[in-house]
Amino acid sequence: MTRQTSTHHEVRGGCHVCKGARPMWTGKNALALAARHYDATGHQTWAEQLLSITYGDAGPAQPDMFAEERPCA
Ligand SMILES: [Zn+2]
């Protein structure tokens, strides 16, 4: 039997000084950008990553647990 597996990887980061909790960077290099922004400015930055794995059929879509973040301008 073939196991159906789907993975979702999400990374985002931001600067508490410039944008607060709103993400400024998304994508795989968000952690590096947050570190570089701290190095360049001394601002307190943050980064988080989410890895979710689903086994089996997708079935009906799951409702979002959190409201959609607006992309930074
Ligand atoms: Zn900043």
**Count of structural domains within the chain:** 1
> What are 10-66's pLDDT values in tens digits?
999 999 999 999 999 998 899 999 999 999 999 999 999 999 999 998 666 666 666
Does 60 reside within a domain? no
The overall average pLDDT reported for the chain is 88
C-alpha 37 – ligand 1 centre gap (Å): 6
Does 62 reside within a domain? no
C-alpha 3 – ligand 1 centre gap (Å): 44
C-alpha 43 – ligand 1 centre gap (Å): 5
Three-state SS for the chain is CCCCEEEEEEEEEEECCCCCCCCCEECCCHHHHHHHHHHHHCCCEEEEEEEEEEECCCCCCCCCCCCCCCCCC
* Rounded Cα gap, residues 27 and 10, in angstroms: 7
Q: Domain range for residue 14?
A: 5-55
This model's pTM is above 0.75? no
Does 73 reside within a domain? no
